[in-house]
Structure 1
Amino acid sequence: MSGSEQDIYEEHVLDHYEDPYHRGALATATHAHEAKNPLCGDVIHVDLKLSDDGKIEEAWFDGEGCVISQASASMLIEKIEGKTLEEAQAFTAQEMLDLFGPKLTPNRQKCCLLSWRVLQSAVHSPVGDDDDDDNDGAPHFGGPTLGDES
């Protein structure tokens, strides 16, 4: 396969972009993380629901950006669901590029690896269970709440 731009948009890539696997928010997430590619503005958010024995029961993503960043996130979420935490952490950047398929330029590799980087952080980022009672289910951004200010 040549590294031309046409190869990037292979059928399976477009399938994941147009009909992504588990795109959206996961209300029952136990772990979550979000990051942005500062070079292009692509954003990926990953929600994970981990079982007590460390298995990824459910994985969801959301975000915005190019075909590569969004399709690779869909591929990764589908791949890691049902895996153990150790298996997800052992999944390498090279395996992510291989999973995506088409050969990418270094700049486009950053698009592909964004979801992989977010996943690696998400497994270490538990959703704050004790904060949920204080803010009635509203998003928590890590700073003081309005109630803390008064």
Structure 2
Amino acid sequence: MADAMEQLYQQVILDHARVRQGEGELADYGGESFQINPTCGDQVTLRVQLDPAGEKIQALGWTGQGCSISQASLSVMHELVIDQPVSRAEELGGYFRELMAARGKELEGTRLEALEDASAFTGVARYPVRIKCALLGWMALRDALVQARGRA
């Protein structure tokens, strides 16, 4: 059973690495963040646009290069946070950081469910050198949201 789940998780990551959601430069944005993982060279420029009230993520686009884990994590993150309240995106980011800190152990049920496809990164957390790859986009999002809220 565990092997079947691990294979499913690996497939989710590979699918998102191939067909990347949210990839592309966003022309109209309120916050931007460039992040680089100096360990392996993964990098991302992420831009976010909030609604006029500064409460909801209207648009999110990113460009970057790196390993399949970093690219898939960005794609999954995009699916999770687009059209969501900023508070929900921040909550999901916290859950994802928690997942990475768990070093391969699953989170409590409702948190794991909230992460949807991002739960596929449970196994990635067993490899400390890959954790930064998975967190790259989430760190960029957090930074870009701070900027966008400051301008809203």
Q: TM-score range by the shorter chain?
A: 0.7 to 0.9
Give the distance between the partners of 2:10 and 2:66, measured in 1 at CA.
18
Distance 1:31 1:96, change over 3 A: farther
Q: 2:98 aligns with which of 91, 94, 98?
A: 94
Matched AA of 1:125: Q
Matched AA of 1:79: L
Structure 2, gaps ≥5 residues long: 102-111, 113-117
TM-score w.r.t. length of structure 1: 0.74
SS at match of 1:32: strand
Counterpart residue number, 1:134: none
Q: Percent identity?
A: 29
Deviations for 1:1-50, whole angstroms, at most 9, x for unmatched residues? Answer: 36xxx859722111111111010101011111110001111001211110
Give the 4+ runs in structure 1 shifted more than 3 A.
6-9, 95-98
Give the distance between the partners of 2:129 and 2:146, measured in 1 at CA.
26
Instruction: Please say if residues 61 and 74 of structure 1, whose CA atoms lie closer than 8 Å, have aligned partners that are also in contact.
Output: no
Counterpart residue number, 1:25: 25
Structure 1, gaps ≥5 residues long: 130-150
Counterpart residue number, 2:105: none
Instruction: Please say if residues 55 and 82 of structure 1, whose CA atoms lie closer than 8 Å, have aligned partners that are also in contact.
Output: yes
Compute the RMSD of aligned alpha carbons: 2.6
What number of residue pairs does the alignment pair up?
126
Instruction: Please say if residues 76 and 96 of structure 1, whose CA atoms lie closer than 8 Å, have aligned partners that are also in contact.
Output: no
SS at match of 1:124: helix
Q: How does 1:4-43 map to 2 (within 5 A)?
A: 7=7, 10-43=10-43
SS at match of 2:73: helix
In the alignment, structure 1 residue 113 sits paired with structure 2 residue 117:
no
